[in-house]
Structure 1
Amino acid sequence: MPVMRYGAHLPLLDLDGAGWRPGTLVSYVAAAHRLGYAAVTANDHLVFQRPWLDAVVALASVAGTSADLRLATTVALPVVRGPAALAKAAAALDVVSGGRLVLGVGPGSSPRDYAAAGVPFDERWPRFEESVRALRSYLTPGAPPFHGRFYSTDGALRPHPARADGPPIWLASWGSEAGLRRVARLGDGWLASAYNTTPERVVDARATLAVELSRTGRTIDDLPCALATMWTYVTDDERERETHLRALATMLNRPVDALAGRLLVGPAERCAAVVRAYAAAGIGQLFIWPLADAERQLERFMGDVVPLVPPSP
């Protein structure tokens, strides 16, 4: 069982209509650092059914006050943003954070994001593969130009990232064979989605990744495996639990029963059982996303749930 490290999604989604105060993100990140989280992360949408703060701007706003926390996109959408623009922003984030950026990327699953960007949704997969290759070229000093069907580069942008080889690029995949092959071929890490997988599926996915990685001369131990979008609300109140699960199911257009056993919503021991199962499956990093009362939930998770998850032997 790997040593589990914990990160916290920035509260970029206005779930309760309260909006954001100017100091909301800085205060949240300070709490995450004080409580022992290893990273803060941000997810990307142009268009959503609820207000959603921009991920890159949000990370930039806390880069100077986040101490040694890693900053991660989980994920950014290079096809929607454009790989050149995303690479430019990523390099800047890596510079101003002193080399703490992890660039998690995915194709996205929302046609509305693609429509807003004027990109055909049915081109997302070939565009995504090319965009990752373009990001590598833009972010790696001395890298050769990339020329593809959709994107071409003339080599690295300047200023270069803080790290000589650029920020690590982690790829998102819900676990399809094609997606996992792409992770093994192009990624420095794998990002799974908590509400789109199970511990059993993670075991199967890591077995597939091990085979695919062997073709590139790597092993599964060389590839960080992280679980993002782990919606979280630790509570002993069953009515609160049901209220949050129903609201989340409506927002995600998923059945309540399909979410109840996958997410960290409910009593501490129930939440810890989910975390233990993912740790046993090979997940090494878990990024929680509080559904409400964000800083208090950071405290409850780290104080009530984490002590029930044994460290690796």
Structure 2
Amino acid sequence: MEFGVHLPLMEFGGEAVSLAGLQATVDAARDGGFTTVSANDHFLFSTPWLDGPTALAAVLDRSGDLTLATTISLLSLRGPVPLAKTLVALDVLSGGRVIAGVGPGSSRRDYDAVGMSFEDRWSRFEEAVTILRALLGRGPMPEKTRYYAVPDGELQPLPVKDGGIPVWIGSWGSPAGLRRVARLADGWLASAYNTSPEQFATAQQQLADIPNALVTMWTWITEDRSERERVLHDVLAPLLKRDPDDLRDRVCVGPAGHCADLLSRYAQANCHRAHLWPLGDPPRQLDLFANQVAPRI
């Protein structure tokens, strides 16, 4: 199993979002043996959210050989042509290290912010992803479109590598979502706090040889039981509007042994890569993970 890290696009514990914070996270990931840095996407959220693609661009010069991924980007809302231009720019400037993780998004607020119907999100997404695949060199352009215009020529520059930029689709694991991944995607992004190792294993078996990754694995490594409870009850549960007891066994919040056991179960379920999102102080949390958790998985 490989490991990636989500860039710190939100504030936790009074830590302001900053370029220095992004850079320190990437440095820690590179030094700790991680393989991927990624950025999630929201226009509106319960807390200020730094733009994901912009954050990835800001750390290009510190990223070394790390893969750069969107996990996910709001394809339906950003539009396939503008998003393709952004992704190809990142790909060209990084020397071909981009994975395009996309999805329709699950927040009505994001749709309301740009004046789109939330109820149309799946039909919009299906069309948008076929257009995006064509623009990124992964398939033919659809003959007819309903929601989005297509360019009358090839977008340039082109992706760096022959075969274009891989397009991965995020799905929480519903039957319809997994069928969509199998039909349209080069990889599957599963949501850590919306699944379990057992659910992941069942879903992964339906996707044959499609690559996968587990994203948004909220992480706070601590041996202090009271600190664990504080983070679950006062930080993570209010952020996600979830019951802390429902989150307890799904995320890497707690002792190193708990985190290693949870991720070992995912490794046994044939999870290829897990993306951690530290709930504050990313460099220290990534160092703890690299030294106290990863060797036990």
Q: Taking structure 1 as the reference length, what is the TM-score of the superposition? A: 0.91
Equivalent residues of 2:104, 2:125 under 8 A apart: yes
Equivalent residues of 1:134, 1:152 under 8 A apart: no
How far, CA to CA, are the matches of 2:45 and 2:242 in structure 1? 16
Q: What amino acid maps onto 1:177 in structure 2?
A: P
Q: Tell me whether 1:120 sits opposite 2:107 in the alignment.
A: no
Equivalent residues of 1:229, 1:288 under 8 A apart: yes
Q: Per the alignment, do residues 81 and 87 of structure 1 end up closer, same or farther by CA in structure 2, a change over 3 Å counting?
A: same
CA-to-aligned-CA distance 1:32-89 (integer Å, 9 cap, x gap): 1011100100000000011111000000111122110000000001111111111110
Q: What amino acid maps onto 2:106 in structure 1?
A: S
Of all paired residues, the percent bearing the same amino acid is 51
Q: CA deviation at 1:158?
A: 1.1
Q: What amino acid maps onto 2:181 in structure 1?
A: V
Tell me what 1:138 maps to: 135
CA-to-aligned-CA distance 1:200-235 (integer Å, 9 cap, x gap): 1111112222xxxxxxxxxx23x1111000000110
Structure 2 unmatched runs, 5+: none
Alignment of 1:1-313 (within 5 A): 4-140=1-137, 143-144=140-141, 146-154=143-151, 156-209=154-207, 220-221=208-209, 223-246=210-233, 247-309=235-297
Equivalent residues of 2:10, 2:17 under 8 A apart: no
Cα RMSD, aligned residues only: 1.4
Q: Secondary structure at the match of 2:292?
A: helix
How far, CA to CA, are the matches of 1:142 and 1:298 in structure 2? 37
Q: Per the alignment, do residues 153 and 244 of structure 1 end up closer, same or farther by CA in structure 2, a change over 3 Å counting?
A: same
Moved segments of 4+, more than 2 Å: 15-18, 141-147
CA-to-aligned-CA distance 1:120-168 (integer Å, 9 cap, x gap): 1000000011111010121218944553211232353111111222211
How far, CA to CA, are the matches of 2:55 and 2:245 in structure 1? 33
Q: Secondary structure at the match of 1:76?
A: strand
**After alignment, is 104-113 or 136-145 more displaced?**
136-145
**After alignment, is 137-146 or 162-171 more displaced?**
137-146
CA-to-aligned-CA distance 1:267-307 (integer Å, 9 cap, x gap): 11111110011011111100000001111000011110011
How far, CA to CA, are the matches of 1:130 and 1:143 in structure 2? 12
